[in-house]
Chains A and B, each alone.
Chain A
Amino acid sequence: EAGVAQSPRYKIIEKRQSVAFWCNPISGHATLYWYQQILGQGPKLLIQFQNNGVVDDSQLPKDRFSAERLKGVDSTLKIQPAKLEDSAVYLCASSLDFGKTEAFFGQGTRLTVV
């Protein structure tokens, strides 16, 4: 069974530039999560999709972050414009259903904003 795929693995950008991350969840998983993990901290939920609908984005800085999940499968997370404090690892995860089963994580994208 293929795992959660994320790309790119690493990205370095200057502040005020834009960046996009891509995630391909495990086939058949209805729930998709994007987390932000700052060094030394736990993952912070940014947005949660159930199929192609957003069920929670309360922690997503909507003035600069956006996310979509096309046809209930792949998802992209975009930051525009980036700030220094956006430097973090962005983790994508998927699960069969929301909160009731284990979540499978991708390797993450390490973003450095300089």
Chain B
Amino acid sequence: SQQGEEDPQALSIQEGENATMNCSYKTSINNLQWYRQNSGRGLVHLILIRSNEREKHSGRLRVTLDTSKKSSSLLITASRAADTASYFCATDDRFSGGYNKLIFGAGTRLAVHP
């Protein structure tokens, strides 16, 4: 089952513009992570935000988390052609036994045009 759902499914922008992607999830979480996947490659971790944090920055990335709405957003500022990739949110889905599953959403495909 998928925990996170990203919106929009696809996003096309020009270099220099900002890109915003949203993620909604269903259950309580400990943290939420964002990953990037270039075509034909494995996923690369971008940023992790804990449930008691509201905002986090890393370079050109800004992530927000609203646990009351069960949603998160990823903002990429001043986008570059190299940012073209699919972006996924992932949440730790708690279940019995004390172990957390890492569940991914369907992703947002970002295309940045020169």
Contacts and interface: CB of A to CB of B under 8 A. Distances in A.
A99 B42 contact: no
B25 interface: no
A99 B31 contact: yes
Contacts of A33: 102
Interface majority SS on B: helix, strand, loop or mixed?
strand
B44 A42 contact: no
B104 A56 contact: no
Given A42-B2, A56-B99, A99 B30 contact: yes
Contacts of A100: 30-31, 92, 100
B42 A91 contact: yes
A24 interface: no
Given A41-B106, A99-B102, A108 B42 contact: yes
29 contacts: A4-B42, A41-B106, A41-B107, A42-B2, A43-B43, A44-B2, A44-B104, A48-B101, A48-B102, A50-B99, A91-B42, A91-B43, A93-B42, A93-B43, A98-B99, A98-B100, A98-B101, A99-B31, A99-B92, A99-B100, A99-B102, A100-B30, A100-B100, A101-B48, A103-B43, A104-B45, A105-B44, A106-B42, A108-B41
Interface of A: 4, 33, 35, 41-45, 48, 50, 55-56, 59, 91, 93, 95, 98-108, 110
Interface of B: 1-2, 30-31, 33, 35, 40-45, 48, 88, 90, 92-93, 95, 97, 99-107
